[in-house]
Amino acid sequence: MAAVIPLIQTRALTRQFGGLKAVDNVDFNLESGKIHAIIGPNGAGKTTFVSLLSGRLLPDSGTILFDGQDITTMPAHKRVQVGIAYTFQITSVFANLSVYDNVALPVQRRLLQRGRVDPGALHQSVFEVLDRVGMADHAHSKAGSLSYGHQRLLEVAMGLALQPRLLILDEPTQGLSDGEIDTFIELVREIARDATVLLIEHNMQVVMALADRITVMNNGKILAEGTPSEIRANAAVQEAYLGGGDV
């Protein structure tokens, strides 16, 4: 039986800032069709690591493969074209544009890759995405007037509009209310039917509810990896991440 190629694979991936190795010789595999969470204390290297995967940063050394293709030096916009979408830790919506126009921009970009943009297809695609995240009623609202939680959902919608094979979510529940978090959990489960999800998240209840597999980073390295139950029982994770408390 042929070996399954991971969707994302890194080997000896390293990124240094001055004397600090933010990502230090990391080997990582991400299976297709999974929800994979990366956790760890502040400064562990999580955001730097996913910035390397998305192309926002380039590594000092090491390799990144996407579905077997070497993308180590591929610029970020090319990685979007091959199917990697990254939502930021801080909202990056276009505040002065409507919700509709924020989503129309990535839809148009995707359709242009396939040839001429048909206005009817664009309109239909925008509302399909807005319906998916529960924001169709806000289509004509200015993005900057939305609540923080709705801006985060809009940013997810902008990522989904690209129809990615891999959606990277960086602290997506930060600033959300309990009700908004519950809605987000259901949304990610629905997204995972069509795309692989890589999630950086501090909220351990969200991580344990969603993740098929968890990678724990500390000081730029992978400290542990496993299922939620394995990570919950890992003494080294409890010590490094929670000072000895329960995960």
Whether residues 207 and 97 fall in one domain: no
105/170 same-domain check: no
Is pTM beyond 0.75 here? Answer: yes
Task: Examine the domain organization and report whether 76 and 98 are in the same domain.
Answer: no
Distances (CA, A) of 80 to 85, 88, 147, 148, 242: 6, 14, 27, 25, 35
Residue 86, strand partner residues:
168
**pLDDT per residue over 194-216, tens digit each?**
899 999 998 999 999 999 999 99
List the domain range (segments joined by +) for residue 142: 91-163
Tens-digit pLDDT profile for residues 65-121 = 999 999 999 999 899 989 999 886 445 789 999 999 999 999 988 888 777 778 888
How would you classify residue 55: left for phi > 0, otherwise alpha for psi between -120 and 50, otherwise beta? Answer: left
- CATH at 4: 3.40.50.300
Q: Tell me if 11 is assigned to some domain.
A: yes
Residue 182 lies in a domain: no
Do 79 and 172 sit in the same domain of this protein? yes
The tally of domains found in the chain comes to: 2
